[in-house]
Amino acid sequence: MPSTTFPTAARAQAVRTSRARDADRADLDLIPWLTRLAEPERTRVVADLRVVDVAPGELVCRVGKPVTYWFGVIDGLLKMSNDSAGASGGIPITFTGVPPGGWFGEGTVLKGESYRYNIQALRKSVVAGIPAATFHWLLDRSIGFNRFVMNQLNERLGQFIAAREIDRLTQPDARVARSLAALFHPVLYPGVGEVLRITQQELGYLVGLSRQRVNEALTALQAAGAIRVEYGGVRVLDLERLRAWRV
């Protein structure tokens, strides 16, 4: 196993807790775009792929750091935020959860800029990544990969528009409902099945509500038959209902 440096940012604090390891077969099955690659490409990508365990609170990448990897979530839950760590005061912050199956930062990698977001693990997670060079190499020769990235960019645009709507919502139940619906996006987050593994605490952190209020909201959503609350997670019964939740 190569002892490469990874993830990039916050390595000083990360290297202590994160543990690089080889990707096993189970991990590979959870990378949605990998199945779309033909043989010569697939082999190189698997070789370049890095998989690490990330501890809760650990930063996967930080605003301003140069782009080195394109990341995806194998397991766990990450938080994407555009805050500047208190530098600009307590200004409204947009959070987005990244559940299993989600790959992000392709726009930044494409342009070769520095990261525009902080990506932080909300709980113990498994994160995969390919080097920016490999990403570009794939774009240059795999049509399947290009299709994936294009679709990804398109769907994500819709996500951000939805996120702005959610931010404007004041009703807690609606915020929770729509945020949940976003996390169950089948294209962006194919790793999320019927059940999303997320605690009410984590959901509260993501949506910007107290755990108690989230609990109340979830109870209401469950009573309406849109979801089922389970221990350490939520099962979606009616995704459309969640998306359209008003009050």
Partner DNA sequence: TCATTAAATTGTT
Partner DNA sequence: AACAATTTAATGA
Candidate segments 57-65, 73-81, 90-98, 195-203, binder of DNA by CB under 7 A:
195-203
Q: Is the torsion defined by CA of 233, 76, 165, 242 positive or negative?
A: negative
Return the residue of 15, 44, 233, 238 that touches DNA, per CB under 7 A: 233
Residue 132 vs 209, nearer CB to DNA: 209
Using CB under 7 A as the binding rule, whether residue 57 contacts DNA is answered as no
How many Å apart are CA 215 and CA 210, to the nearest integer? 9
Using CB under 7 A as the binding rule, whether residue 232 contacts DNA is answered as yes
Using CB under 7 A as the binding rule, whether residue 223 contacts DNA is answered as no
Q: Exposure of 50 by Cβ count < 10 A (0-12 exposed, 13-18 middle, 19+ buried)?
A: buried
Residue 144 vs 233, nearer CB to DNA: 233
Q: Exposure of 209 by Cβ count < 10 A (0-12 exposed, 13-18 middle, 19+ buried)?
A: buried
Using CB under 7 A as the binding rule, whether residue 200 contacts DNA is answered as yes
Return the residue of 36, 44, 211, 241 that touches DNA, per CB under 7 A: 211
- Pair type for strands 103-104 and 195-196: unpaired
Using CB under 7 A as the binding rule, whether residue 79 contacts DNA is answered as no
Q: Exposure of 135 by Cβ count < 10 A (0-12 exposed, 13-18 middle, 19+ buried)?
A: buried
Residues that bind DNA (CB under 7 A): 123, 199-201, 211-212, 215, 218-219, 229, 231-233
